[in-house]
Amino acid sequence: MAEQGAAVRAAGRRLMRRGAQGVRRTVARRKRLLAYIAIFGPGMITANAGNDAGGIATFASVGADFGYSLLWILIPITISLGIVQEMCARMGAVTGKGLADLIRERFGVRWTALIMLALLIANAGVTVSEFVGIAAASELFGASHYISVPLSAVLIWFLIVKGSYKKVERVFLLMSLVFLGYIVSAFLSRPDWSAVAVGMVRPEFKLEYAFLFTFVAVIGTTISPYMQVYVQSSVVEKGVTPDDYGKTKLDVWVGTIFAILIVFFIIVSTAATLHKSGIQITSAADAAHALRPLAGQYAQTLFGLGLFGASMLAAGVLPLATAYSISEALGFEKGVSRSFREAPIFLGTFTFLVAVGAAIAIVPNLPLIRVLLVTQVINGLLLPIVLFAVLRLVNNREVMGKYVNGPIYNAAAWLTAIVVTLLSLLYILITLFPTIFGHR
């Protein structure tokens, strides 16, 4: 009996040890998961802010007009966007300075003033479009834009001016979750997945006006100058250092992949419904309206929620990116954790852009298309300048030390900059001189 009792006790001790080890492993896994969740911030927010009202309209048009045939472009876009965002995030972690700060130090005041003026004009125009997106989304749910737009502007202003960086980051990340609605919307649309797979792996290119315009617009919508400014400045404000940069690098790439996946599902949902029925659209709200009879009320609701969340996120990020760049270029105090007394230029610029953007967005019969064309041309001219400035800075050992680009990575980065530059110039030519490309 004594031997049996000892055996039982020994078995009990072994079970307790195994149980304790299992608990420790579970706790360790949870800690690792929380650590990975905690790193999400600059990269995730910036990449998803690129899927704004104009972006959603562009991607919905891709699906409606060309079906699944342009899906293949998402693979090189993912690589290009990730490379550009990662270089800026790395510069922020290594130097502790924003992009405008480094441009002013290395290229002089004149170049900085020119770039900042262009950025201010372009971002002001795009900010208006974000509030127009808020108006369109709210009206899908029966709310007047005369109420929803001013209320949204006040909420965004209060979040930034009265909040801290951590609170702002958390709210922006929660807004990013709204994009998950597009995934559900795509499945509700019942796409032909075999045709989706073909579209992903078989490149198709046409020398036609509509195709070229859409092709270049996708690139320009996905990689915008303000995104580089925002990701670098937010990395600096978050206090990321080279020692803990690995987690931020993961954040950048996960954010990029997530954002492009959302683009994928937007194109799939509209290709499966609108393209199949031959319906053309001119805005994201049109896409949401058109989805209802074809894919059901829930698909329309989810698409509308995605539009509202995307517009709210970009309406916060765009003015913030502009405020960061202006403050850095002029050498003023900056940061969402600062008060008006500590950072008057930073918060004043942000307040001005939000107020003007919301006010213009509720003007009746607004010629939005003309505003967007002008701002997109400015962005198209500005993007190559910003990209080549980033490449010069990130390869400067005085600035980056041992954290300069490696040879293979650098080749990919330069190829990205050259291709994006050529496409940006092509976009400008198509916009300004459509008859050259056969459009009348």
Confidence of residue 334 (pLDDT cuts 50, 70, 90): confident
3-state SS, residue 405: coil
Q: How many CA within 13 A on the CB side of residue 60?
A: 29
Which alpha helices (DSSP H) does 108-208 contain, by range?
A: 109-140, 145-162, 165-176, 180-188, 193-201
pLDDT digits (tens, 9 = 90+) for 369-399: 556 556 666 776 777 888 888 899 999 999 9
Asked if residues 56 and 140 have their Cβ atoms less than 8 Å apart, the reply is: no
Confidence of residue 225 (pLDDT cuts 50, 70, 90): confident
Would you say residue 224 has pLDDT above 50? yes
Position 25 scores a pLDDT of 53
Percent pLDDT > 70 in the chain is 78
**Residue located via tokens 């319906």:** 279
Position 283 scores a pLDDT of 64
Position 26 scores a pLDDT of 47
The whole-number average pLDDT for the span 403-422 is: 88
Burial class (CB in 10 A: 0-12, 13-18, 19+), 346: buried
b or e along 257-285 (b: 16 or more beta carbons within 10 Å of the residue's beta carbon)? Answer: ebbbbbbbbbbbbbbbbbbbeebebebbb
> 40-437, what's its fold?
Amino acid/polyamine transporter I (1.20.1740)
Nearest Cα residue to 216 out of 52, 36, 383, 330: 383
Position 108 scores a pLDDT of 83
pTM of the complete model: 0.79
Would you say residue 355 has pLDDT above 90? yes
pLDDT digits (tens, 9 = 90+) for 257-282: 988 888 898 899 888 887 877 777 76
Would you say residue 173 has pLDDT above 60? yes
Position 33 scores a pLDDT of 41
Position 387 scores a pLDDT of 86
Of the ranges 49-63, 103-117, 172-186, 341-355, the best mean pLDDT one? 341-355
Position 330 scores a pLDDT of 80
Confidence of residue 294 (pLDDT cuts 50, 70, 90): low
Q: What are phi and psi of 82, to 5 degrees?
A: -60, -40
Both tokens of residue 14?
């072994």
Would you say residue 174 has pLDDT above 80? no
Rounded Cα gap, residues 31 and 124, in angstroms: 42
pLDDT digits (tens, 9 = 90+) for 175-205: 667 777 778 878 887 888 999 999 998 888 8
**Element counts in the chain: helices (H) and strands (E):** 20, 0
Confidence of residue 37 (pLDDT cuts 50, 70, 90): very low
Burial class (CB in 10 A: 0-12, 13-18, 19+), 363: exposed
Rounded Cα gap, residues 353 and 315, in angstroms: 9
Percent pLDDT > 90 in the chain is 12
| Domain residue limits, the chain | 40-437
